[in-house]
Homo-oligomer: A and B are copies of this chain.
Amino acid sequence: MAYHHGDLRQALLDEAIEVIASSGVAALSLRDLARRAGVSHAAPTHHFGDKAGLLTVLATEGYTQLGDALLSAPPTFLDQGVAYVRFALDHPAHFEVMFRPGLYHQHDPSLTAAQSRTSKALYSGAATLPPTGADPRITGLAGWSMAHGLATLWLSGALPDLGSDPDAAIRAILRELRPDFHRRA
């Protein structure tokens, strides 16, 4: 094996994603990542500074990718909601880390930039719902809560089996917010 790994940084991130997705972030250790990458246990420090540094990278990646997904979906609550839940199911490791701010460097500049971009996209999605007299911020929170709760319950294994077409199930559930509107559309 060569002394230089080639792309150790990315390899460590990939391993971390795998570990978190299958065993949760609590099971993550730098030494284990190094072991999996076939490298000495002190090597990761070189790329991330410390453990929180590695998780900061994952959180930033997560916010960026979620932002991309939201911005490239059709600008309707339903499509963006599906995109949100899909992101969580497809990238459970990123999703888990993102919502545990205690684990990473919350004030990292590129992290906060990604966060604010994503939260703007989030609110613009809910803004496409028809007004009902309520404060639109309330409507936005309702939509976000619904998508987030669905994703969270799904990932925690609390949901009953939803059949063979998860996307259809997600859509059907989200549609319950303002059923008349979506039926018309």
Interface residues of A in 131-162 (CB under 8 A from B): 132-135, 137-139, 141-153, 156-160
- Given contact pairs A134-B172, A138-B173, A148-B149, A156 touches B101 in the complex (Cβ within 8 A): yes
Chain B nearest CB: distance from A8 CB in Å? 27
Of the four ranges (under 10, 10 to 19, 20 to 34, 35 or more), the interface on chain A belongs to: 35 or more
A1 interface residue per 8 A CB criterion? no
| CB–CB A150/B145 < 8 A | yes
- Determine the distance from Cα of A54 to Cα of B148 in the docked complex, in whole angstroms: 29
A138, B139: Cα distance in complex, Å: 20
- Whether B100 contacts A174 by the Cβ 8 Å rule is no
Q: Would you call A179 an interface residue if the criterion is a C-beta within 8 Å of the partner chain's C-beta atoms?
A: yes
Given A141-B173, A179-B134, residue A152 in contact with residue B152 (CB < 8 A): yes
Q: B residues within 8 A CB of A177?
A: 142, 146, 176-177
Q: Are A141 and B145 in contact (CB under 8 A)?
A: no
CB distance from A162 to the nearest CB of B (A): 8
A residues contacting B by CB (< 8 A) are 24, 26, 99-102, 132-135, 137-139, 141-153, 156-160, 169, 172-177, 179
26 cross-chain CB contacts under 8 A: A26-B26, A99-B156, A101-B156, A132-B176, A132-B179, A133-B179, A134-B175, A134-B176, A134-B179, A135-B172, A138-B172, A138-B173, A141-B150, A141-B159, A143-B176, A144-B153, A145-B146, A145-B147, A145-B150, A146-B146, A147-B149, A148-B149, A148-B152, A149-B151, A152-B152, A176-B177
Supplied contacts A99-B152, A146-B149, A176-B177, 7 more A-B pairs, CB within 8 Å: A101-B157, A132-B176, A134-B172, A142-B176, A145-B146, A148-B153, A149-B149
